[in-house]
Amino acid sequence: MSQKITPNLWFDGNAKEAVDFYTKVFPKGKVVDTSHYPKNKDDLAEFQKDMAGKELTVDFELGGYRFVAINAGPEFKFNPSVSFMVNFDPSRDDKAREHLDKLWEKLIDGGEVVMPLDKYDFSERYGWVKDRYGLTWQLILTDPKGEPRPFIVPSLLFSGEVTNRAEEAIAYYTEVFKNSRRGIVARYAEKTGPAEAGSLMFADFMLEDQWFAAMDSGVEQDFEFNESVSFSIVCKDQEEIDYYWEKLSTVPDSEQCGWCKDQFGVSWQIVPEDMDELLKAPNSWQIMMSQKKIVIDEYAV
């Protein structure tokens, strides 16, 4: 599957272990590629020296959907602000409910319930679970009526200072990204906790032909978006890098190595499609660590 936008998951030194777990419990799970930190400690920043030669990233797929696991440190922790909806569609899988329940059993082992696995107004079978690594998943028995959705859909929960801004974010993202459109919209009929009447109980939308979901939290939360889940955008050239950087980078303190943060707090990585090749150049690691926005011409290729 070709993805323009890929979720990157930040792990505290156990990325390989986590990927091994996910690729075993999800259907069609497989490791696609692995990159490593430089072996020479002198090439690394002080806080990275213990990682010399270890895995840096592990690219993997679950049900045909691409993720990247980042092997890093304890700086960022997962929370429900970004979760992943897992759609079990009875029109495509005659054992959808059975497969949903089996995956729930695997994910809840060592994890915690966010919303119990049960029947709800919006689904015959739904549950929200935090797995053993802290990442959250929404498992749902999909209504087969209407346009089908992919197996995995990233979901953004707007809470805290950005509550009631989900619709604004969707409007902005669908303007910034190509091949974008709106999908389902369900609104709060009345004020529900911090969510105002008319704000988004649930909505989904497409960016670069990929589905995403968003909602405003109807409950006060003690978490917000952070760098534990970022979305990398693969760019064909410097012009495209510059375009997305201008549109998505609004927090100067968050700019490093192609990472940035938008006005809603969501983290992005804006990278060239040949980044792996650039990192083979002399002193490339030090160059990347010194950059905020990636500037391709600064690498000695």
What torsion, rounded to 10 degrees, do the Cα atoms 236, 237, 243, 249 define? 90
Query: 187 and 253 share a domain?
Result: no
Which range marks the domain in which residue 63 is found? Answer: 5-76+227-298
Query: 69 and 109 share a domain?
Result: no
Residue 286 is assigned to a structural domain of this protein: yes
User: For the chain, what percentages of helix, strand and coil (3-state, to nearest 5) are there?
Assistant: 25, 35, 40
Query: 211 and 235 share a domain?
Result: no
Query: 27 and 138 share a domain?
Result: no
Predicted TM-score (pTM) of this structure: 0.95
Residue 209 is assigned to a structural domain of this protein: yes
Residue 167 is assigned to a structural domain of this protein: yes
Number of structural domains, the chain? 2
Q: Which of 216, 248, 266 is the last residue of a domain?
A: 216
Query: 98 and 175 share a domain?
Result: yes
| The pLDDT of residue 190 | 98
CATH of the domain at 90: 3.30.720.110
Residue 221 is assigned to a structural domain of this protein: no
Contacts of 102 (CB under 8 A, 6+ apart): none
pLDDT tens digits in sequence order for the chain, 301 residues long: 479 999 999 999 999 999 999 999 999 999 999 998 878 776 676 678 787 778 899 999 999 999 999 999 999 999 999 999 999 999 999 999 999 999 999 999 999 999 999 999 999 999 999 999 999 999 999 987 888 999 999 999 999 999 999 999 999 999 999 999 999 999 999 999 999 999 999 999 999 999 999 999 999 999 999 999 999 999 999 999 999 999 999 999 999 999 999 999 999 999 999 998 998 888 888 899 899 999 999 997 5
Query: 61 and 97 share a domain?
Result: no
Query: 210 and 107 share a domain?
Result: yes
Residue 222 is assigned to a structural domain of this protein: no
| The pLDDT of residue 301 | 58
Query: 183 and 67 share a domain?
Result: no
CATH of the domain at 253: 3.10.180.10
Q: Which of 191, 216, 241 is the last residue of a domain?
A: 216
Residue 202 is assigned to a structural domain of this protein: yes
Structure tokens, 43: 């090439």
Strand partners, 235: 272
Structure tokens, 52: 């010399």
Query: 32 and 88 share a domain?
Result: no
Place of tokens 């696995």: 117
